[in-house]
Structure 1
Amino acid sequence: MGRVDDGRSGAPAEVAWYVRLLPFVVLVGGLVVDFLTPTQYTSASFYSVAPVLAAPLLSLNGTMLVGLAAIAADTAVLYHFDRLRGLSGMSELLTISLVAVVAVFINRVLEARNARLRSARSVTAAVQRAVLPEPPARVADLRIAARYEAAEAEAEIGGDLYAVQETPYGLRCIVGDVRGKGLDAVEAATLVLGSFRMAADEQAALSDVAGHMLRALRREVARREEGERLEWFATAVLAEFPYGGDEVRLVNLGHPPPLLLRRGAVNAAEPSEYGLLVVEGLGGGDTVVDTFPFPAGSTLLMCTDGVTEARDARGRFYDPVARLAGAGCGRPAELLGVLLDDVHRHTGGPTEDDMALLAVMREG
């Protein structure tokens, strides 16, 4: 994980308080060694190391304080052993003073880098809010929650996507994944989301929404160079919750099937036929809409393959059906929190792929 700055002058937020004490411990250790060993031994290296340690761990003021303390400690030792006036003593003190100045310079360089990182993160956060806005917490009798977690903490956003939209035909949702990483993946995800939002309002049938998205993706691919076309590949699952109904309609476009949770039971909503949301030369055929009962108390959980393909230390995939069976659903936000915590326990740390999750619960 990268170093995270907390906004203060050069002090990284993720460094524990006891780690920040290390420069002072080194200084004290140097003094102890100097006063407990014969005169010919010196701890000048301790006094040189302490400011260098302080540069990445402490703020500007903290780094300057450690540097001055190192100079003062060495001066006291040299005076105590009557070496301050000698050439070797003066050379030693000059070296430590120079190291303290260099440590301040290093601290400023790191702070400048952190400032650029904070700026980049603010831009990334703005992009994330624009591409993946927070869904409404409640629509009619449906409660909704979404989470996005990037595999790389510095990235914050990638090719996984979700969207929730109120339409004349019911609440419509999408969770999907586009191939690739970085800005290219964000561009493709934006195209998929834009085509979904437009079609969700205009198309009465959920299958026509999928068809509109496929045509939009293929039009964009046709504009690309030959070598780029195979890189444009996406999977998605569309869901429609008719207002006042007790069912959910699903279209699966090559995506991991959603999960239906009710009263401790967890079942995968396997499609009768998978559709495709891919580039030219593939796909075709009719898009199949599957209908599942969705009475009060039911929850639909949609996620990307970052969840289902998360591996433990022995290489075993995460199985949400088995892991969530018997667990109380709770509200959607609570369910997503439980699921993400369980995935991290399974992997023993960060996952290797991004994860997008969306949960919709019908109250009763």
Structure 2
Amino acid sequence: MTQVNRRTQRLMAALPFAALFLVAALDALTGPDLGYLPLLAVGPAFASLVGDVRRTVTIGAVALSLSLFLSVYDGMLGDRRSDMSLISIAGVTAASILATVGRQRRERELASVRSVAEVAQRVLLRPVPRRAGHLRAAVSYTSATAEARIGGDLYEVVIGPGGVRAIVGDVQGKGLAAVESAALVLGAFREAAHDEPDLRGVSGRLEKALNRRLSGEEFVTAILVEAGPGGKLTLLNYGHPPPLVLRADGAIELAEPVETAPPLGLAVLEVEGPIPHQIDFGTGDQILLYTDGVIEARDRTGRFYPLTERAFLLKDDDPEAALEALRLDLVAHVDAPLHDDAAMLLLRFREG
């Protein structure tokens, strides 16, 4: 839980008591004529925001006790206004108890759904090899924590006969359905990456697998990478954010595709896939593949995360430490729960 969330929780927890204190002070200072006494029911009304049933009952009991005390203080005990105050507090407390029970039930259901989805994700997204051919690899996955917004971000690195192949993708949608689609993509990729002679063959297998399952406007953005001999990377971009390339001399560039192409799974459009494009990739170079949860993360002013400007954080000799520094900077930029999952895969040319 972030510091902001903890502060919000404390404020909501204190709100019923603050309301009771304010109403009691106003009634004690102004007397019975202005009729503040029924407003003590505001305390139990706020009680259902946080905490359990016992806490709600306690706040209701405090409100009733204050009402009785102030009735005696004002000389109104047994008066119609005093009775109406007690009835109002009792009624609002009962309603607040029911609301608390309903909120706790929804929280348990939400936690259960999220737990199942997170377990499915952890099984699906296995660790990538730290050394893959002539590359070193590191991966980072930051899950969104707002509601049950488990996403369909995916990544994988496969060492095949033709070299190292990797994928980073993002399934449209959230929840278990997105995790299921991500599992389909990864299963097809892991098999095809060993069998197909080139990336177009791999992506064709992914398209076939997705088109058998997806319907309507469902799709998967993805970028496929192949690191073969000769110091070249071959890229296929299916509607995905372009990778960030960091050169050994400090230069930074985005590996934009030659032509844009629609995401995977949209066979209904009847368009050809992307044209493979190559980039030089030599000693000291590294490439960062990421999902849109990274570049679309906003701070409290609405400013997107400036990934290119923060690329200098990837200078650490250890790829995992470098990627962790970038992840922490992303979380600090948002300073709140992420609204979307954020996956990053860093590939670095390894000497020797």
TM-score, length basis structure 1: 0.75
Alpha-carbon distance change, 300 to 246 in structure 1, aligned in 2, over 3 angstroms = farther
Q: Is the 8 A contact 1:247 1:293 kept in 2?
A: yes
Name the SS of the counterpart of 2:58 in structure 1.
Answer: helix
Distance 2:324 2:294 in 1: 17
Q: May I ask how many residue pairs the two structures share in their alignment?
A: 338
> Which residue number corresponds to residue 286 of structure 2?
299
> Which residue number corresponds to residue 208 of structure 1?
201
Q: Is the 8 A contact 2:152 2:174 kept in 1?
A: yes
Distance 1:307 1:205 in 2: 29
Question: Is the aligned partner of 1:80 residue 2:70?
Answer: no
Unaligned stretches of 5+ residues in structure 2:
none
> Which residue number corresponds to residue 246 of structure 2?
261
Question: Is the aligned partner of 1:194 residue 2:184?
Answer: no
Question: Is the aligned partner of 1:136 residue 2:128?
Answer: yes
Unaligned stretches of 5+ residues in structure 1:
5-11
> Which residue number corresponds to residue 21 of structure 2?
28
Deviation at 1:72, TM superposition (A): 0.8
> Which residue number corresponds to residue 141 of structure 2?
147
> Which residue number corresponds to residue 8 of structure 1?
none
Distance 2:41 2:257 in 1: 66
> Which residue number corresponds to residue 238 of structure 1?
224
Alpha-carbon distance change, 62 to 362 in structure 1, aligned in 2, over 3 angstroms = farther
Name the SS of the counterpart of 1:177 in structure 2.
Answer: strand
- The Cα offsets for residues 302-332 of structure 1, whole Å up to 9 and x where unpaired, read as 12345556789999987644x2465553334
Name the SS of the counterpart of 2:267 in structure 1.
Answer: coil
Among 236, 239, 243, the alignment partner of 1:252 is: 236
Name the SS of the counterpart of 2:105 in structure 1.
Answer: helix
> Which residue number corresponds to residue 37 of structure 1?
30
Deviation at 1:334, TM superposition (A): 2.6
Letter in 1 for 2:235: V
**Identical-pair percentage:** 33
Among 105, 116, 119, the alignment partner of 2:109 is: 116
Distance 1:248 1:139 in 2: 18
Which moved further from structure 2: 99-108 or 157-166? 157-166
Letter in 2 for 1:109: G
Distance 1:246 1:339 in 2: 34
Letter in 1 for 2:85: E
Letter in 2 for 1:261: L
Q: Is the 8 A contact 1:207 1:251 kept in 2?
A: no
Letter in 2 for 1:239: V
Alpha-carbon distance change, 88 to 181 in structure 1, aligned in 2, over 3 angstroms = closer
- The Cα offsets for residues 143-191 of structure 1, whole Å up to 9 and x where unpaired, read as 31132555x8224333443223344544431012345555654444333
- The Cα offsets for residues 93-136 of structure 1, whole Å up to 9 and x where unpaired, read as 233223223322221121112111111111221232244x1423
Name the SS of the counterpart of 2:201 in structure 1.
Answer: helix
Among 42, 45, 52, the alignment partner of 2:45 is: 52
> Which residue number corresponds to residue 267 of structure 2?
279
Alpha-carbon distance change, 309 to 109 in structure 1, aligned in 2, over 3 angstroms = closer
> Which residue number corresponds to residue 7 of structure 1?
none
Which moved further from structure 2: 189-198 or 278-287? 278-287
Q: Is the 8 A contact 1:15 1:57 kept in 2?
A: no
Distance 1:310 1:86 in 2: 58
Alpha-carbon distance change, 20 to 210 in structure 1, aligned in 2, over 3 angstroms = same
Matches within 5 A, 1:79-98: 79-98=72-91
Among 155, 164, 168, the alignment partner of 1:162 is: 155
